[in-house]
Amino acid sequence: MTAPFARIVNLSHVHDPGVTPLYPGDPEFAAETVATIEEDGYFLRYIRQGEHTGTHWGAPIHFDPEGLAADELESEDLLLPAVRIDVREKCAGNRDYAISVEDLREWEQRCGRIPGGAAVVAWTGWDALWGTPEFLGVGEFEGRQPGFAPEAVRWLLETGRLGRRGALGIDTFGPDLGADESYTVSKLLYREHRISLECLGNLAALPETGAWVLAGGAIHRGGSGSPAGVYALIPD
């Protein structure tokens, strides 16, 4: 049987203690060898990390106390049509760049309407900074990162483009501007069955439209999300 897509692309960074950037205040990411082939006949490590370490997805309960937890989502919530919004040029000289309604409308002029229930993925260029101090920012720029403007997210919601199950994706720590300590965008997003896809990588391989994204990872009971393998299914 022929697969309904031409290839699979990994949109996840390798999870690597000591290299994977951590959001300020998140728990340490560590790996401890607890069994070896020489002594135990098998190799096993004990991994300690937060639910939002590295490439990951977030469930509604992450910011909405009444929202669905990871184990309450449906399988369809983790498989979504994807569009990629390339804002690298605008973000290159501005760590506080807010992806605007105009950016989304310009994309639609070239590629057509964003389908309802899509994963709207912003490519800011931060995936190229992975594993460097610049990912989080240094000095006066520490914690500063681009993200979606609240007005843009309200537009996606009010026009039905995000639907009741959809996602915001991004190659930074999350869809909010780093300077927004109130997490306005996340609080708008996490309702019904909508999720976030964060710290994405390899976005050059994700086409502007036509692909689907699949978020894997462990399903923790009551969980706020999970470190993940996120894959793009690319059509012929």
Q: Do residues 28 and 48 make contact, with C-beta atoms less than 8 angstroms apart?
A: yes
Residue 24 lies in a domain: no
Instruction: Establish if 77 belongs to a structural domain.
Output: yes
Distance CA 70, CA 170 (A): 19
pLDDT in tens, 135-161: 999 888 899 999 999 999 999 999 999
Greater model confidence, 33 or 2: 33
Q: Could you tell me if residue 104 is inside a domain? A: yes
Mean per-residue pLDDT, 38-52: 97
The gap from C-alpha 54 to its chain's centroid, in whole angstroms, comes to: 10
pLDDT digit string (tens) for 76-126?
999 999 999 999 999 998 999 999 999 999 999 999 999 999 999 999 999
Asked whether the predicted pLDDT for residue 1 surpasses 70, the reply is: no
Q: 3-state SS of 103-136?
A: HHHHHHHHHCCCCCCCEEEEECCHHHHCCCHHHH
Only one residue has tokens 């937890």, namely: 69
Q: Which tokens is 190 given?
A: 């996490």
Residue 6 has pLDDT above 90, yes or no: no
Q: Which domain holds residue 98?
A: 5-15+51-235
Q: How confident is the model at residue 2 (pLDDT cuts 50, 70, 90)?
A: low
Residue 38 in domain: no
> Is residue 172 included in any domain, yes or no?
yes
The reply to whether 28 falls in a domain is no
pLDDT digits (tens, 9 = 90+) for 164-199: 999 999 999 999 999 999 999 999 999 899 999 999
CATH number, position 219: 3.50.30.50
State how far the Cα of 107 lies from the Cα of 112, in Å rounded to an integer: 8
Structural domains counted in the chain: 1
pLDDT of 205 above 90:
yes
Predicted confidence at residue 4, as pLDDT, reads 74
> Is residue 49 predicted with pLDDT exceeding 80?
yes
Tell me, yes or no, whether 35 lies in a domain: no
